[in-house]
Chain A
Amino acid sequence: MGMKTKKTLGNTITYIVLIIISIIWLFPFVCLFLQSLRSYNEGGGGMVEYLLPKQFSLDSYKFLFSQDSQFVRWYLNTLVIAAFVAVLQTIIVLCVSYALSRMRFKGRTFLMRFWLILGMFPGFLTMICLYFLLKQFGLTQQGAIPGLILISVASSGMGYYVTKGYFDTIPKALDEAARIDGASRARVFLTMIIPMSKPIIIYAALVAFMAPWCDYIFASYVAFGYSDSYNVAVAMQRWVWTNDYQGYFTRFCAGGMLVAVPITILFICLQKYYVEGVTGGAVKG
């Protein structure tokens, strides 16, 4: 067998494997899409034992936007949380990263070690205590949306690793030069470092924006029993786990599509920055 045939054979095998992988990866999403288009006349919106709907319709989508469903409200709740968390968390992470990357102050190493140790405790451990604290401020049930924003943002300073790693790669000589010219630290931070950090800011904001769409454990605990404050994850997970999911399955699929499509498009547009962020973070540890 010649070198060339061997290479062609290798490429063919690789293509076959890649196509199989692609099918496996896309299959659940294709199913989700097809199920969301199934008419109520088949199986009453529950699960059925075949893949292709016999009768296509937009019933499930119509239901989500109708008066009977609070889906729009849940969707907006999640959007509000995600937007606030993305902005505030990014600001906090940038502040912490700059302080830890550029400034040398007493207690700096202690702070970094202390936060590292805190991060080893499981997040759910403190759930009852956090719930109580939020309740003291009136931020549960009706106030669950600001409460969830507060909780996500409050502890976000501990997630500085990737951004600090990026700041560390910006030469310190730039800072020094500006400071010799009389610029204060604050000025250097706002007018030099931040404009130079666009990729990492987009990465931080993207990750912060995507997290609240998945948050259902703490969100359901804080909004407990008050459906106006649910986010999409809490509400739709209830559709699947409550016993009447049979009637809600196609609605879950339709809702899932409405959540997944915009986020996926956003993610794929900003994929370049995401890859840069995770790769840098993984190598620096």
Chain B
Amino acid sequence: MGNSANSGKGPVGKFFKGVGNECKEIGLTFAQGDWKTKVSYLIMGFGPLMRKQFLRGFAYLAAEVLFIWYMIGFGWGYLKDFTTLGTVARVMNDDGTFSYNDNSFLILLYSLLTIILIFIFLVVWRMNLRENRNEEKLLAAGKQLGTVKGDLYSLLDSHFDKTLLAIPVLGIFVFTVLPIVFMILVAFTDYDANHQPPTNLFTWVGLENFRNLFSFGTTGLGSTFLTVLGWTLIWAFFATFLTYFCGMGVAIMINRKGIKFKKLWRTILVMTIAVPQFVSLLYVYKMFAGDGLVNSYLMKWGLISSAIPFWDNPLLAKIMIIVINLWIGIPYTMLITTGLLMNIPEDLYESARIDGATGFQMFKSITLPYMLFVTGPFLLTQFTGNLNNFNVIFLLTQGGPQSMKLSNNAGYTDLLVTWLYKMTINDTNYRMAAVLGIMVFVVTAVISLIVYGMLPSVRDEEGFQ
């Protein structure tokens, strides 16, 4: 293990090598630098300011001042409680009122923010040193340093990427990265209905939640988790491949020579993409309800004597979801495959026909291999998208029918994500919701990695183009 780290071949080794190089550079900069550079180790931006690089100098100085002000006034107060997540929650005062002290939620969130800010500060500090070294080198070579105008212009030219990415990266950091890391940390705490800040504290529990998910006793979630995971995978498989093949079939029919009104057929199918799903799926849900249109007519015509429990029978509900998803999904595949099907060279079919191939044989040996090759990445994103297909499940069954055999309110058509949603909203069982979220990530990542390596268009990029 130590060997591989030293050799610098693996990503871990590369990382340590990189850190080592940085340390060496920092030392060299200090040893070889002039006094302005040396002061910049403590007072950021000092060197640039002395060399009349006012914009850069002030920017570094402002960063340092802001950071220190943040740490003293805010960050440290939370970071010092990070290991315990608070010790005193609510205290009753002598006059019967309550005063609130530590809030585990805030401590966890702001400690995390502070830790990330410390890392960012270290990076800025390192940039400040590099800036000093560059300026010294330029001056030693007898060159002019840049001007403020030049710096600003570069933000629209050679450094335009920074201007373009600043706001998107900041937005993703605050509203995606921070919350995700926060929830990953929650998976290692006991944050649930009994530990709600500010009334109660929550604290670190190690791997207990993961053990709970994988334990198969009467209290554990093991069997429910496996049931839900199994259905999630089955659902994603059928939802992806059934829609894919049916959609392609419809596209082939519409593309067929001699079929008229091609545009009309496509427009009719596309209606399900255009109409918002909460309208169409909620309506379809009501159509198949016990007192819905379908059951009413079947009974009126005397075909059945009592209502078919479309949504109350686990197996029937699962089949219904997959079938109704075809209604939603076929138009997408149809749209995508229509154009691609027309790209297949006609003479391939022509020569096959001369050899006496039937329609099915041509589909099997010409159309299908070509389509699978070209749409491989699409199938992968469809599959991972279906693993998390919240709308179809939630608008149709809300995960039901529920059962005493499944714990934590899970139902037979729940996907991991809908179960996660119920845990968050109905049970406020944040600790297990966080664990489930991590599991969804693991499943998605593992499937993506395996399939991505198998895709022909990735292995053979030239053939793909």
A residues lining the B interface (CB < 8 Å): 7, 10-11, 14-15, 17-18, 21-22, 24-26, 28-29, 31-32, 47, 49-51, 92, 95-96, 98-99, 103, 105, 111, 115, 117-118, 120-130, 132-133, 150-151, 153-158, 184-187, 189, 210, 213-214, 216-217, 221, 233, 236-237, 240, 249, 252-253, 256, 259-260, 263-264, 266-268, 271, 274-275, 278-279, 281-285
**CA A84 – CA B12 in complex, angstroms?**
44
Chain A residue nearest to B168 (CB atoms) is A157
**CA A184 – CA B154 in complex, angstroms?**
9
B44 at the interface (CB under 8 A from A): no
How many positions in chain B have a CB within 8 Å of any CB in the partner chain?
96
**CA A268 – CA B270 in complex, angstroms?**
8
- The answer on a CB contact under 8 Å between A49 and B300 is yes
Contacts A/B (CB < 8 Å), 20 sampled: A24-B327, A25-B272, A50-B296, A96-B165, A118-B176, A120-B440, A124-B424, A125-B183, A126-B182, A127-B424, A151-B175, A157-B165, A158-B172, A185-B158, A236-B282, A249-B286, A253-B283, A260-B276, A282-B378, A285-B376
| CB-CB under 8 A for A128 and B269, given A31-B293, A92-B168, A96-B168 | no
Q: Which of B163-216 contact A (CB under 8 A)?
A: 163-165, 167-169, 171-172, 174-180, 182-183
Q: Which of B2-10, B51-59, B142-150, B253-261 contacts A (4 or more CB under 8 A)?
A: B253-261
DSSP majority for the B interface?
A: helix
B109 at the interface (CB under 8 A from A): yes
**CA A127 – CA B165 in complex, angstroms?**
25
**CA A189 – CA B430 in complex, angstroms?**
45
Contacting B175 at CB < 8 Å: which of A18, A26, A28, A155?
Answer: A155
In addition to A32-B279, A121-B437, A122-B420, 10 A-B residue pairs with Cβ atoms within 8 Å of each other are: A51-B297, A96-B168, A99-B165, A105-B161, A118-B176, A125-B434, A125-B440, A155-B176, A184-B160, A256-B282
- The answer on a CB contact under 8 Å between A129 and B183 is yes
**CA A118 – CA B250 in complex, angstroms?**
35
Chain B residue nearest to A92 (CB atoms) is B168
- The answer on a CB contact under 8 Å between A11 and B268 is no
B15 at the interface (CB under 8 A from A): no
- The answer on a CB contact under 8 Å between B277 and A98 is no
- The answer on a CB contact under 8 Å between A99 and B160 is yes
| CB-CB under 8 A for A120 and B448, given A126-B180, A154-B172, A283-B378 | yes
Contacting B253 at CB < 8 Å: which of A18, A127, A189, A285?
Answer: A18
Q: How far is the CB of A156 from chain B (nearest CB, A)?
A: 8
Contacts of B271 in A (CB 8 A): 25-26, 29, 264
Q: How far is the CB of A241 from chain B (nearest CB, A)?
A: 8
- The answer on a CB contact under 8 Å between B340 and A283 is yes
Contacts of A17 in B (CB 8 A): 253
Q: How far is the CB of A155 from chain B (nearest CB, A)?
A: 5
| A-B complex: 9 closest residue pairs judged by Cβ atoms | A285-B377, A157-B168, A49-B296, A126-B179, A125-B437, A154-B171, A282-B378, A267-B274, A129-B179
**CA A27 – CA B416 in complex, angstroms?**
32
Chain A residue nearest to B388 (CB atoms) is A122
Q: How far is the CB of A164 from chain B (nearest CB, A)?
A: 12
**CA A274 – CA B388 in complex, angstroms?**
23
**CA A204 – CA B153 in complex, angstroms?**
30
Chain B residue nearest to A240 (CB atoms) is B282
Write out, one digit per residue, whether chain B residues 285-309 have a CB within 8 A of any chain A CB (1) or not (0): 1110101110011001000000000
**CA A49 – CA B417 in complex, angstroms?**
35
- The answer on a CB contact under 8 Å between B268 and A124 is no
Contacting A185 at CB < 8 Å: which of B157, B175, B441, B448?
Answer: B157
Contacts of A184 in B (CB 8 A): 153, 156-157, 160
Contacting B160 at CB < 8 Å: which of A21, A186, A256?
Answer: A186
Q: Which of B65-73, B331-339, B360-368 contacts A (4 or more CB under 8 A)?
A: B331-339
Chain A residue nearest to B296 (CB atoms) is A49
- The answer on a CB contact under 8 Å between B430 and A128 is yes
B92 at the interface (CB under 8 A from A): no
- The answer on a CB contact under 8 Å between A49 and B250 is no
- The answer on a CB contact under 8 Å between B340 and A278 is no
- The answer on a CB contact under 8 Å between A259 and B279 is yes
Contacts of A125 in B (CB 8 A): 179-180, 183, 420, 433-434, 437, 440
Contacts of A249 in B (CB 8 A): 286
B267 at the interface (CB under 8 A from A): yes
Contacts of A264 in B (CB 8 A): 271, 274-275
| CB-CB under 8 A for A130 and B278, given A186-B157, A285-B378 | no
From B175, B336, B374, B388, name the one whose CB has the most chain A CB atoms within 10 angstroms: B175
Q: Which of B419-438 contact A (CB under 8 A)?
A: 420-421, 424-425, 430, 433-434, 437
Contacting A120 at CB < 8 Å: which of B287, B338, B444?
Answer: B444
Chain B residue nearest to A49 (CB atoms) is B296
B380 at the interface (CB under 8 A from A): yes
- The answer on a CB contact under 8 Å between A124 and B109 is no
- The answer on a CB contact under 8 Å between A186 and B156 is yes
Q: How far is the CB of A235 from chain B (nearest CB, A)?
A: 10
**CA A284 – CA B183 in complex, angstroms?**
32
B243 at the interface (CB under 8 A from A): no
- The answer on a CB contact under 8 Å between A271 and B178 is no
**CA A32 – CA B281 in complex, angstroms?**
11
Contacts of A31 in B (CB 8 A): 283, 287, 293
**CA A278 – CA B385 in complex, angstroms?**
15
Chain B residue nearest to A8 (CB atoms) is B258
Contacts of A26 in B (CB 8 A): 268, 271
B397 at the interface (CB under 8 A from A): no
Chain B residue nearest to A190 (CB atoms) is B156
Contacts of A221 in B (CB 8 A): 425
- The answer on a CB contact under 8 Å between A18 and B265 is yes
B273 at the interface (CB under 8 A from A): yes
- The answer on a CB contact under 8 Å between A271 and B270 is yes
Chain A residue nearest to B176 (CB atoms) is A155
B390 at the interface (CB under 8 A from A): yes
| CB-CB under 8 A for A282 and B336, given A28-B280, A121-B440 | yes
Contacts of A157 in B (CB 8 A): 165, 168-169, 171-172
- The answer on a CB contact under 8 Å between A275 and B276 is no
Contacting B172 at CB < 8 Å: which of A28, A99, A155?
Answer: A155
Chain A residue nearest to B448 (CB atoms) is A120
- The answer on a CB contact under 8 Å between A124 and B420 is yes
Contacts of A274 in B (CB 8 A): 273, 335
**CA A31 – CA B163 in complex, angstroms?**
51
- The answer on a CB contact under 8 Å between B377 and A154 is no
